[in-house]
Amino acid sequence: MNDDIGRSAILRRRFIEQVWLLLGREPKKPVEITARAQEVHELKRMTNKQDLQAMKAHVRAHARKSTRWRNRRWATLIAVNLLFVVSYHFDIQLLEGALTASRFAGFHLIDINSALQVMLAHKHIITNLLIGTGTVLVLWLMLGGRTFCSWVCPYHLVAEWAEKLHLWLAAKRLVTDQPIDRRMRTISWVAFAVLAAATGYTVFEAISPTGILSRALIYGAGLALLWVLALLVFEVFFVRRAWCRYACPIGLTYGAVGIFSPLRIKYSLESCFHEAECRKVCLVPHVLATVIKGRAVDTEVAIGPDCTRCGLCVDACPTGSLKFDIKGLSKLL
């Protein structure tokens, strides 16, 4: 009983730490670890280094390279955005509008961050916006808020391709990454909220690459695409994934929405050899600090709300220690 109480307290503290991580705090080595996780960590420390290296080599040699989740995600993202294009150009009225505000089969769907910006600009709660965000809120509560980023946002996809170019240039030592303090995203969220309230204008919507790309795909290109191009150039040559990691308030909004989501990536400590393949491909690697040797507070740990559920770590993990999981259902299946 006491062990269970102690474990619950440790997991509650980790949950709070994950919320701070969402707001920009850097990951820290945990102070307390559950008894069962301590046993696993100790067994790993006692393992002969040569034996451990041999096991890692064996796992890598027999692991299958997978792009299953990446392919599913790309296909979903492209399909969703093409549905907007097809609906508009063929006037089939299935999915009207753009990602910022749309209507699917008669149901209004309004981006949560956009709705907040509009209400701050108008300085009162708009009932129609609340109704429009209701369905969206439930959807991302179920799927995990930042699932929107990797599975729906068109800028996320082009930024992912730009990141591949950045990594290729970095491998040739032609560019270096210049990380920015992740708290800048929280500052950005507050700054755009203040600007909306002070000016009566949704400033963020004017420069949001998500909205710009969505409208450009549906209604045709405009000069605003030059801003998107400038962002991509900056990310290729200076700061890897600068907008998504350090500036975009949409990611913070949806991360907060997904704090209590039942869908998550779950990490299993016992099967992990700490190869770090997952952290190499992760779009937000700070969320995988728990896979660093000695960091997991329990034998099974859910990855925090800043995770985009992109599935790249699931594809990359050679031991299957990272998997998609639905809270409360995994033990029943």
Residue ranges per structural domain of the chain: 2-62+262-326, 69-147+178-257
3-class SS of residue 301: strand
The DSSP letter of residue 97 is E
The mean pLDDT value for 256-270 works out to 93
Phi-psi region of 58 (alpha: psi -120 to 50; beta: other; left: phi over 0): alpha
pLDDT at 60: 63
Distance CA(264)–CA(297), nearest Å, equals 17
The mean pLDDT value for 206-231 works out to 94
Q: Is the pLDDT of residue 52 over 70?
A: no
- Note the pTM of the prediction, 2 decimals: 0.90
Mean pLDDT, the chain, whole residue set:
89
Would you place residue 245 in the very low, low, confident or very high pLDDT band (cuts 50, 70, 90)?
Answer: very high
Q: Is the pLDDT of residue 101 over 90?
A: no
Task: Let me know if 242 is exposed, middle or buried by CB neighbors in 10 A (0-12, 13-18, 19+).
Answer: buried
Residue 96, strand partner residues:
103
Q: Is the pLDDT of residue 332 over 50?
A: no
Distance CA(40)–CA(296), nearest Å, equals 10
Q: Is the pLDDT of residue 70 over 60?
A: yes
Q: Is the pLDDT of residue 61 over 70?
A: no
Q: Is the pLDDT of residue 1 over 50?
A: no
pLDDT at 290: 94
Distance CA(254)–CA(61), nearest Å, equals 38
Ordered DSSP codes for 47-80: S-HHHHHHHHHHHHHHPPP--HHHHHHHHHHHHH
Quick one: what percent of the chain has pLDDT higher than 90? 61
- Look up residue 99 and give its amino acid: L
